[in-house]
Structure 1
Amino acid sequence: MTEDGGQGVKGRPQRFANLSWAVLWDEVAGGHVYARNVDLVVRDGRIVFAGPAAELPGEYAGLPVDVDGTGLMAMPGFVNIHSHPATEPMNRGLFDELGSPGLYYSSLYEYMPVFRSDARSKPDCARVAYSEMLLSGVTTVVDLSTPWDGWLDVAAESGLRVCLAPMFRSAAWRTDDGHTVSYSWLEDDGRRGMAEALEIVDAARGHACGRLMGMVAPAQIDTCSEELLKASFVEADKRDIAWQTHAAQSIVEFHEITRRHGMTPIQWLHHLGVLSPRSIVGHGIFLDDNPSTPWHTKTDLSLLADDGASVAHCPTVFARRGYVLRDFGRYRKAGVRLGIGTDTYPHTILDDLRLAAYLGRVQAGSPTAVPTRAVFDAVTVAGAAMLRRDDLGRLAVGGCADIVLVDLKHPMMQPSIDPVRSLIVSCDDRAIHSVYVGGRKAVEAGRVLTMDYVGATERLVGEQARIVGSVAERDRLGRSAETLIPSTFPIR
């Protein structure tokens, strides 16, 4: 059998037989359902049969078994709708407790620039992040990065479906005093950056591996001019692809947009006409009814719902800062589609599913406010819909064979009468056994097959030491990393 450019295996069909459990898509019910004793048949990267083994059509009954599913559960691969693979692994151990008190404990404006990974470290940053995603069941990822040499090659190497979202902007932010943020505006308003980004988007969509796609991504609402936001939305519409920007992601940003325009970030996007079913708001936490950003209106949530826009929810990165979406269940009830993203390290998305459920329940004061099904849907069919792909995020005939096999015999999965709930709540990624993208195996027995995860991690250790060692040269006060990030315990 030969690989079909990452689209799966060409030649005879592949048979996953006797799966103890499977999460299949029920087209009539319009949702995921459990099934027992299931066979899956994959041809050229697509699912051609998914159902009870007893109902296997005769044309497939004589197929050799490629995977014995006894003791395994098959589920759809996850869609990570918001991540920063080329930079975030570098920050491991740095930003856990680091934020600017004068900027509401955000780390965006003062600290991220001084610890930022550079061109030399980005390939291995990406490999580490992509590997962590695969190991936790992600098969499709939106990669929001500033363009870097070799990006498409590493994305193709990963074995993932990667939606490249090259970020561009009209201005760069900075803080000179730790309590105010200023913006340096580009003479061309970011048009050159957008043109470069669109070239990457178009190249990704035409890449030979067949697993890359593109997204238009003006970086942040406060660093992009009105003209750039509107022009970028037009480009996304021309290509019929998704559009995403960071908005309502910090208190600083909320105050900046209300100061500039007299309306909230969500209201500004609505005013510009860039909220629609193709729009994804990265984070969308600080709405006009959030206790940290009270405003005289209370319309942001209904605007998101009425315009059909989606929110990329990344609970881990905000929980570190002491902030939370208020709340997952409330957004859903209002009619806002939510996807799940890792955003930050570690890129293990099952952590984010559990945290999204727990924080949503805490905010609502009810254990039933965010059921397991809600976060599972968010990371599968909702994320796929945000990418305008109805062939992802579900195990159904005609869909892509992006399949995750879970080891039901893992001790932390037992005893279990509800395997998906056990995976998310009790086990995390320890039970992820194998991962297939388009029928091509990318993870086996907890080992990444497509990239040198261990080697990339080892190299990244040296890269982080190099960058941390020169932090004082970039910090506004010349502080060392040891000063900025005190050790958990004294070192003697």
Structure 2
Amino acid sequence: MTLAALTLGQRPPGRTALRADWVLAQGATGPRLLKNAEVVIEGATVLHAGGRFPGEVARRIDLGPALISPGFIDLDALSDLDTTLLAIDHQPGWAKGRVWPQSYVARGPYEMYSPDELAFQKKFAFAQLLLNGITTAAPIASLFYRAWGETVAEFDAAAQAALDLGLRVYLGPGYRAGGMVCTAPGVLMPLLDEPRGMAGLAEAAAWVRRWHGAGDGLIHGLFAPDRVETCTEPLLRRTFAMAEDLGAPVRLHMAQGLMEREAMALQHGCTAPEWLARMGLLSPRLIAPHATHATAQDLALYAAHGVSVVHCPLVSGRFGGLLDSFGKLHAAGVNIAMGTDTAPPDMILNLSVGLILARVAERRPDAVSSARMWEAATLGGARALGREDLGRIAPGARADLAVFDLSDPYMAPTIDPITTLIAGASGRVTRAVFVDGRLSMRDGKVAGFDMAAARLQAQTQFDGLVANYPDRTWGHPPVAEIFPPSFPMEDCDA
């Protein structure tokens, strides 16, 4: 029997045995590679990982030259159409629509997407995560093109999209008490509206109460105040109190950039981790992307209080940033999880870039191993979420599996499967994904969603957004001036 015999989008009835040349299973002391092994799933959980299962099964599927791995956990998963791509070759941010100009604020910020477009982009992004072997995601979207924060309606649609596609998610509408505003060329100042932030938090808390645990636990609540420099002390104190009450994690972007460092120094006279430490808010509940601008003292505070760092090496590296360093954080006892946070949402590519940047940061090839990177994308994410049933293949764990095809020509020659996949640096060899025992992706297809048609819709939607960039760019220059082509362009009308 082959994977084609299973119904896409459904949990196969009875026990299913998946055999592959390689299985990354959880042993007594950590992950271990099993050669010519079998994984048996029953319902939503793993029943067996090892040699041939002696009990009865409804079906056996031989995947051949493949790796069955725990599905990836992405704690900064892109859930919109990525506007950071526009910034790769277009800087500085204040001149390229990355920070609101004062004139735009005075006119009144507005939503640049319709409710239907907001719902579509999340479903499209969720499908892309599945294509890349990601089984658990904490979505993130930019607020630059929003009127202020995210809405309850769009997250109702996002939760339903996750249920429809079969993706495990940690969700909650993003909110903030302020934002950075460009008041003159290169001059950025915080604009605060705390009552609006508190209102956003109240709506987010109500959303979490309503959706937490839906879909037999596929939907989990998450509190997502936007960026630390857009938050006030009362907003953060209230956020953590509600998260404690509801048993939900808090994700707060901090120690991630120069703009933040300058804003924090201006407002509080310290770094963001130091500010949270003063308030007593650092704890294992906190998930903190990206730490690329963290000081040694910041990282010591993270280690002392059990804060998890979400490492997003691809998007950081694109803009000259890097974690200093993966090896140092690990040695200090800081839990490191992984995020994609950009297009493509390719976790394997991120692991490859992360491996390279970690070695560059320390100027030595043994600074971090492929195994350590893979562990961050699985067990590291599970630890950040406080989940012992995710990020591993072991009896009783959730049946969240990713199957990677090692017969692909780009994966030759194959050596150790983990090293081979990270050296290959592409999630395009993801053959299938099971989430909670459900076959959520197979051979580039997800149930009930036409990816080819969605690709065209996504491009049209993104082009419409770009057309509005002059409204929120300093001086309101035309799009051609904001985003000139990489080389002089001629339309040959062939």
Q: TM-score normalised to the size of structure 1?
A: 0.89
Is 2:88 the counterpart of 1:96?
yes
Distance (Å, rounded) in 1 between the aligned partners of 2:306 and 2:235:
21
Compare 114-123 and 364-373 and name the one that shifted more: 114-123
Corresponding residue of 2:223: 216
Q: Deviations over 1:21-52 (max 9, x none)?
A: 100000x21x1100012121111110111111
Distance (Å, rounded) in 2 between the aligned partners of 1:220 and 1:144:
11
Q: Is the 8 A contact 2:308 2:384 kept in 1?
A: yes
Aligned residue identity for 1:130: F
Q: Deviations over 1:195-229 (max 9, x none)?
A: 11112222331423531111112111111110111
Percent of counterpart pairs with the same letter?
28
- Number of aligned positions between the proteins: 467
Corresponding residue of 2:139: 143
Compare 325-334 and 141-150 and name the one that shifted more: 141-150
List aligned pairs for 1:159-198, cutoff 5 A: 159-186=166-193, 188=195, 190-198=197-205
| Structure 1 residues 434 and 454, CA gap change in structure 2 (3 angstroms) | same
Q: Is the 8 A contact 2:99 2:181 kept in 1?
A: no
Aligned residue identity for 2:204: A
* 2:325 pairs with one of 308, 322, 327: 327
Q: Is the 8 A contact 1:115 1:471 kept in 2?
A: no
Is 2:26 the counterpart of 1:25?
yes
Corresponding residue of 1:294: none
Aligned residue identity for 2:129: M
Distance (Å, rounded) in 2 between the aligned partners of 1:187 and 1:264:
21
Corresponding residue of 1:47: 46
Distance (Å, rounded) in 2 between the aligned partners of 1:413 and 1:116:
42
| Structure 1 residues 93 and 240, CA gap change in structure 2 (3 angstroms) | closer
Question: How much has 1:305 moved relative to structure 2?
Answer: 0.5
* 2:128 pairs with one of 123, 132, 155: 132
Q: Deviations over 1:218-260 (max 9, x none)?
A: 1111111101111111111112221110111111111211222
Distance (Å, rounded) in 2 between the aligned partners of 1:378 and 1:109:
35
Q: Is the 8 A contact 2:94 2:473 kept in 1?
A: no
List aligned pairs for 1:71-82, cutoff 5 A: 71-82=65-76
Residue 246 of structure 1 aligns to a residue whose secondary structure is coil
Residue 287 of structure 2 aligns to a residue whose secondary structure is strand
Distance (Å, rounded) in 1 between the aligned partners of 2:115 and 2:183:
25
Structure 2 gaps of 5+ residues are 1-5, 142-149
| Structure 1 residues 44 and 459, CA gap change in structure 2 (3 angstroms) | same
Corresponding residue of 1:207: 214
Q: Deviations over 1:115-151 (max 9, x none)?
A: 9655342223223322221111100000134234322
Q: Is the 8 A contact 2:82 2:342 kept in 1?
A: no
Q: Is the 8 A contact 2:46 2:395 kept in 1?
A: yes
Question: How much has 1:464 moved relative to structure 2?
Answer: 1.7
Distance (Å, rounded) in 2 between the aligned partners of 1:281 and 1:430:
28
Q: Deviations over 1:350-386 (max 9, x none)?
A: 1111111100100000111011011101100110111
Distance (Å, rounded) in 2 between the aligned partners of 1:414 and 1:256:
49
Question: How much has 1:311 moved relative to structure 2?
Answer: 0.7
* 1:239 pairs with one of 236, 246, 266: 246
Aligned residue identity for 2:83: N
Q: TM-score normalised to the size of structure 2?
A: 0.89
| Structure 1 residues 200 and 319, CA gap change in structure 2 (3 angstroms) | same
Residue 86 of structure 2 aligns to a residue whose secondary structure is coil
Corresponding residue of 1:363: 361
Question: How much has 1:168 moved relative to structure 2?
Answer: 1.1
Distance (Å, rounded) in 2 between the aligned partners of 1:369 and 1:203:
44
Cα RMSD between the aligned structures?
Answer: 2.4
Corresponding residue of 1:307: 305
Aligned residue identity for 1:387: L
